[in-house]
Each structure stands twice: as C-alpha cells, then as structure tokens.
Amino acid sequence: MLTSDFDYELPAASIAQEAAPRGESRLLVLDREGPDRHARVGDLPRLLHSGDLLVLNDTRVIPARLFGRRAGSIGQTGGRMELLLIERLDELEWDALVKPGKRARPGTVIELDADLTAEVTDKREDGRHRLRFSAPVEPHLDRLGHVPLPPYIHRPDTPEDRERYQTVYARSPGAVAAPTAGLHFTARLLEEIAAAGVAIARVTLHVGIGTFKPVTAERIEDHRMERERYEIGEEAATAIRHARERGRVVAVGTTVVRTLESAALAGEGTVRPGAGATELFITPGFRFQVVDALLTNFHLPRSTLLMLVSAFAGRERVLAAYEEAVREGYRFYSYGDAMLVERRPTRPTRAMRLASTAAP
C-alpha cells in the first residue's frame, strides 16, 4: 500500500493545543456494524460491557527535554543546545537527539548546569547521538528537565503539563511521549468502569521517539519502526487469558495494541508474562489475535498510528470517521478527543510484522 493512502485534510485549528479536563473529551464510537455515534469519554462505563477487560499502559513520561550550552560558549551567540533523551544505555550513557545536530560532534561538551555536563561520544547515521553524562542524569530531571510535548503543540511546556501530559495511573518511568488515550481517565472514571463489571489490567510499553517519526517511504512496506521495550506481568497475562474466554479485550491506546499483539506473536498466540522488545508495524491485513476494541485519539496523516487504526477497523471507514470528526469540530492529536473502535474481522492475508523478539 502507498503512504498517501493514509492522507487526509486537517485544519490547523483542529489540533488541540491545550488539554480538556480529564473525562470530559468527546468520543466518537465506531461499532462493528452500526452507524457512528457521538458520546463523551465519561460515558465509557455504559459503553463497555460487563466481562470486558480494559488494558492500560502504565508507563511514566520522564521530563526528557534538557537545555544547555556548549562548553566555552558563554557570552557567544549560537551556543544553546537542546537534548531529548531517548533511551538509557547504562548508568551514565544515553541515546538522545541533539539540536543543532551539526554542532554536536563527538567530543562536544554540553553544560547543563554547574553540577551536570554531557559529552557527545558518538553520532549515528540515523541522527541520534550517544551522550555520556558527568553523573547519573535521573536525579536532575525534575529540576532541569522539561515535558517533551509533541512538535505539533506550538507553545512552551508549562508546569501544568507536568501533571496533564501523564496518565493518572503512570507508574514505570521510561517514556518520552505519553500514551495519550490514557490521558482521558480520572481515578473516579476508572472506579465507575470497574463497578460496571469491567476488569482492569496494566502493562508497560515505554513510548519512544518513533511515535513522532513520519513515514517518508512511498510504500508503507519500506518503513521501519523504532524498537520499544514492553513488560507484561503475571496478573495481566492471566486477566487477558480469562477475558479472551468470556469477554472483550479493550486496549487503551495503540501502545497497548502493539504490546499485546507483539506478545501474542512471540508466544505463538498466547500472551505470556515477561519482558520483550517490539518493532511491530501493524498495517491493513494484519491478523489481530488479542485485542477486540480500541480506545484511541485521532492521529496524524500518514502516521503509523493511523495505519494501525485502519488495520483495526478498515481504512475507508476510519478515514470517513476522521472526515466526520473534522466536520463536527472534534479536537485532534495528543490533547484532543477520542474514538472507541470495535475491530472488524480481518481476512486471512499476510500479516506485516517486523521483529517482535523476547528481550535478553
């Protein structure tokens, strides 16, 4: 398929720059057979079914954006540097993106404050840099770090984003982007969902920089996903097994879909507890084995996330729903509104998958 098959027109005014209060966003419901319906996220206790399992991603976003200056550039123009931490390699070393990249040659030292510096030790062909910090960076992040808001939010981060660009159930630090479908939930809403007979399970997938990586290839088969780590506990694996016997598995966000379907591929159809890493690229024709319904936000044109939702519910129907959402004034992207989508059965075509592997 062509990447252009997943394009659509979106007015700039439809891109949410601020988050609505949790639980109050609009919800476009795509049932398997019925017409689209307009609801609110707060309606989920009645839209989900007793016996369903709601699966959350409990990753926690770290304040991964840092600002500093090249050593020796105090008082000079052009010395400012921006770092975006991507993945911790050991106690002192990280993979990161550095701006401006041309000035971040190996050997460059970036001063973050009096107690912390970062030296560029390598620059890779994919644009990433390897940094070696003078001390473990994690204790400094709350003081020096900024929320890594998506590039389509055209404003600086604020203290309010520290709380709002984080799910209320975030537990495991490691993400550089939020699993945004989960931003809609309040603790009270989760309690109401549980009271309606819906079980709740938690898995972890640390969302990486690939969530913003555009698909530049003409054909989607030529795109390669970024590697992301996930973990599924014993309790979650058991809950998923039971739900598949008596109800629906409802994924909160595309990250949960990729976690569960990656685990099922690695486990030959069974979601087993354990840690893993995935580069799974879900496109139309993929054979879903676990997830029956999906709560998700509205995604960028030509993005891997839109391709996943199209695989789940049908490309034509999803793009028609997006057109309807634009007409009806829905808010798009990370701080925007949501969709609740039931999966349509897929025909037995070739599943496109790329290296879902167990972690060493």
CATH 2.40.10.240 occupies which residues in the chain? 65-144
Query: Does the pLDDT of residue 346 top 80, yes or no?
Result: no
Contacts of 244 (CB under 8 A, 6+ apart): 290
pLDDT band at 162 (very low <50, low <70, confident <90, very high): very high
Q: Which residues pair with 132 in a beta bridge?
A: 93, 119
- Coil, strand or helix: which one is 43? helix
- Coil, strand or helix: which one is 173? strand
* Structure confidence at residue 272 (pLDDT): 96
Q: How far is CA 55 from CA 154, 185, 322, in A?
A: 31, 13, 24
CATH 3.40.1780.10 occupies which residues in the chain? 3-61+161-358
pLDDT band at 354 (very low <50, low <70, confident <90, very high): very low
Query: Does the pLDDT of residue 101 top 90, yes or no?
Result: no
Query: Which range (13-17, 22-26, 233-237, 349-353) has the least confidence?
Result: 349-353
pLDDT digits (tens, 9 = 90+) for 284-293: 999 999 999 9
Mean pLDDT of 242-264: 95
Query: Does the pLDDT of residue 307 top 90, yes or no?
Result: yes
Sheet containing 199-205, strands listed edge to edge, beginning at the edge strand earlier in sequence: 37-40, 26-30, 338-342, 293-297, 249-252, 53-57, 199-205, 228-232, 274-278, 356-358
Tell which CATH architecture fits domain 65-144.
Beta Barrel (2.40)
* Structure confidence at residue 77 (pLDDT): 56
* Structure confidence at residue 56 (pLDDT): 98
* Structure confidence at residue 213 (pLDDT): 80
Mean of pLDDT over the chain: 92
Mean pLDDT of 307-320: 96
Q: Which residues pair with 2 in a beta bridge?
A: 219
Closest CA to 252 of 196, 205, 315: 205
Tell which CATH architecture fits domain 3-61+161-358.
3-Layer(aba) Sandwich (3.40)
Tell me how far apart the alpha carbons of residues 182 and 192 are, in angstroms, rounded to a whole number: 15
